[in-house]
Structure formats: structure tokens, C-alpha cells
Amino acid sequence: MNFSYIDIHSHLNFKDFDEDRESVIQQMKDEGIATISVGTDLASSIEVIRLSEIHDNLFACVGVHPTDVLESSFDYEEFLELAKHPKVVAIGECGFDYFRDQSDELKNKQKEIFEAHIKLAIEVGKPLMIHARASKGTQDAYHDTLDILKYYQKEHPELLANFHFFAGDIGVLERILDIGCTVSFDGPITFARDYDEVIQKCSYMSIMAETDSPFAAPNPYRGKRNSPLYVKEIYNKIAEIRGENEEEVRLQINQNAQNFFNL
């Protein structure tokens, strides 16, 4: 399908959109914007599939968020049924989040649930949506995620993953590109300069754009509720940082998203 912009990670199911979800989606349709809405547990995974069934420009991603693994259960068979749905284009978001809690209990549970997502992705032949958030001042969650992906790729070279809300350093980026995986960027690239070098060094074929709405609105909407309507700001900032033509970057990012998620 032909879209003007593809926001590869949002949470349109969140209550932040309860008041005006339909009008946001309608405006997205008017502007040719598509999004992948990401479930964070079983109930929200079912909900993003339901939304994707009603709207051509919505796709779904199903899984249990790494910070929810202690409270939410992960029933493999239940998620397998969801993952097979034709509008489900990725599995996740999954991986490691050590930002607030570095306890062994959480780390071990995150690893167990991440590996279940990997098996699911291999079984249905769909890519992973990675959530990796390192503890302050380190790249730990990225390296742990990459070690596991690399291990599974030995037997399953077709296994692919996108690192959503990428905030890692150049060393991490190189490891990601090395195993054929991709990264996507968010609102903070429009107002923080920490991402410039990574965006400049990233291969043109491996870069995508997202909003992670309702969180992390880009300039000039900073502080407001974010929505997929603002994904253009991310596209244009990527073009600006890379010193490339906006239209060419838009077409390339769309191509990347369509290839990666088979949209």
C-alpha cells in the first residue's frame, strides 16, 4: 500500500486517545499516515489488532513490554494465535529495560520472556520490535539484547529485529547493523543533539521513524500529547541531520519500513 509517512511505533490504544482516537485516525488517513500500534500485554495486543482490522492504515505488534513482565503473564499459545493475524507485522515490544530496576529477578524474567518472543517471531516469520533501555551511563541492555539475538541468528539467520527508540552509541549501532537489524528514532532527535552522530553514521537502508506516541512529542509539539500525525517532524529532522533531500529521505524511510515489516 502507498503511504506518505509510516510511524513504525505508537500506542494508539492508550487511554490518552480515548477522547479523539477516531478523529486522529481520520486525519492520519487524510494525510496518508500509517502506524504500527504496539500492544504491551495480552489485552492491549488484542486491542491493537481490533483497531487494525477496522482501519487500513493501522497495523499491529503483539507482545509483553519488558517492564511489565513481572505483572503480566505470557501464554505462548495465546500469543501465537494473535501473532498469526495478517495485520500483525511484528512481535514485541520485547527485550531488556534496566533503567529503573537492575534486580536479578527482573533481568531473569525479561530474558525468559524475550526468548519466548524470539521463538514466536521465528515460528510466524515476523520481525521483532525491540525495546532496549540501558541503565544510566551504560549500554548494558543493548549488549544483552544483541548477544541473545546473535545466538538465535546462528540457527535462524532470517530472524530480524528493529531497535525502537534507539538511544545507543556508535558501538551498539555497528553491532546492530552487523547482524542485519535496524533502528528507529523519535521526538528527542528534534531537540537533543546526542543523536546526530548515530543518525549520520547509520546506513540509509537501516533507518526508520516513529513517534512512540502518546510519549516523547517532537518539536514544536514538545510537552504535548504525541500522535502519529507528528511523525513528519522525525522524517524531516533525519533528513536535516544527514544533510539529505527531504523527499528522498521520506521515500527511503518508507521503503525501509515497507520492506522490514512487509506492509
Q: Of the ranges 32-40, 78-86, 108-116, 228-236, which one interacts with Zn ion (CB under 5 A)?
A: 32-40
Residues 135-174 that bind Zn ion (CB under 5 A): none
- As given in the structure block, the three cell numbers for residue 101 are 530496576
Whose Cβ is closer to Zn ion: residue 38's or residue 146's? 38
Q: Of the ranges 31-39, 115-123, 196-204, 243-251, which one interacts with Zn ion (CB under 5 A)?
A: 31-39
Place of cell 549500554: 139
Amino acid at position 15, single letter: K
Q: Of the ranges 35-43, 68-76, 102-110, 229-237, which one interacts with Zn ion (CB under 5 A)?
A: 35-43
Question: How far is the C-alpha of 197 from the C-alpha of 169, rounded, in Å?
Answer: 9
Number of residues counted as binding Zn ion (CB under 5 A): 1
Whole-number Cα distances in Å, 45 to 8, 186, 251? 16, 22, 29
Shortest separation between residue 215's beta carbon and Zn ion, angstroms: 7
Short-list 193, 142, 182, CA closest to 159:
182
Whole-number Cα distances in Å, 86 to 56, 91, 143? 12, 13, 32
Shortest separation between residue 166's beta carbon and Zn ion, angstroms: 13
Question: What number of residues does the chain have?
Answer: 263
Shortest separation between residue 226's beta carbon and Zn ion, angstroms: 11
Residues 38-67 that bind Zn ion (CB under 5 A): 38
State phi, psi for 150 to the nearest 5 degrees. Answer: -60, -40
Q: Of the ranges 13-21, 30-38, 80-88, 181-189, which one interacts with Zn ion (CB under 5 A)?
A: 30-38
Whose Cβ is closer to Zn ion: residue 38's or residue 249's? 38
Which residues bind to Zn ion, rule: CB under 5 A? 38
